[in-house]
Amino acid sequence: MPVYKTNPVEGAAQGDNAPLISWSESLAIGIELIDSQHKQLVSLTNELYHACMLGGEELDATFKETMSRMVEYVHFHFGEEQKMLQRVKYPTYTEHKALHDELIKTVLESTKNYGSGRRFVPNNFVRYLRDWIVGHIGHHDKIYAAYIVEQMRKGLLTEKDISG
C-alpha cells in the first residue's frame, strides 16, 4: 500500500519534510518503463506538495514552475502509455485515454485558475492529484498490466510490442 498523508498540511506546522506520497511496490505495475514514469509523477506531486508548504511568494514561484513541469510530464507520460496501449491493442484503450484526458483538463484548468488569481487552493489540488495518481495506477493501470501479462502468457505479445 502506498504511504501518503491524508492531510497535506498535517506535518507542515511541525516542519515535516516527508513526502506526500512514498513510492511503494504496491504501485508498481511490472512494466519497467511505465513504473519509472510513475515514479517521476510521484516525485513531481511531492514537489508540488512541498511548494504548498512554502507559502507566500515562494509558493507562487515554485508552484507555478513545478506545475509547468507537471503539465509537460503528464503529456509525455500519457502519450507514451497510450502508444503502448495501442501497440498491444488494449481493448478498453478509449476509456483509459478518457481518464487521462480528464486529468489533463483538470491540471490545465487548475493552472489557469492559479495563474489568473482565481480562488484556488494548492493544497486541495495536491490532494486531488495524489488521490488521482494513486487510484489510477492502483486500479486502471494494473488492469491493463494484467491484460498485457495474459497476452504475453498466451504468446500474443512480446517484449518488443510493449517497449516499441
Structure letter (DSSP) for residue 7:
S
> For the segment 51-68, what is each residue's pLDDT rounded down to a tens digit?
888 777 777 788 888 888
How many domains are contained in the chain? 1
- Considering just the CA atoms, what is the radius of gyration of the chain in Å? 17
Count Cβ neighbours within 10 Å for each residue of 34-53 and write b for 16 or more, e otherwise.
bbebbeebbebbbbbbbbbb
Q: What pTM was estimated for this model as a whole? A: 0.82
Q: Which three cell numbers stand for residue 98?
A: 478518457
Q: What is the pLDDT of residue 144?
A: 97
What's 107's domain CATH number? 1.20.120.50
Q: Which domain holds residue 135?
A: 3-163
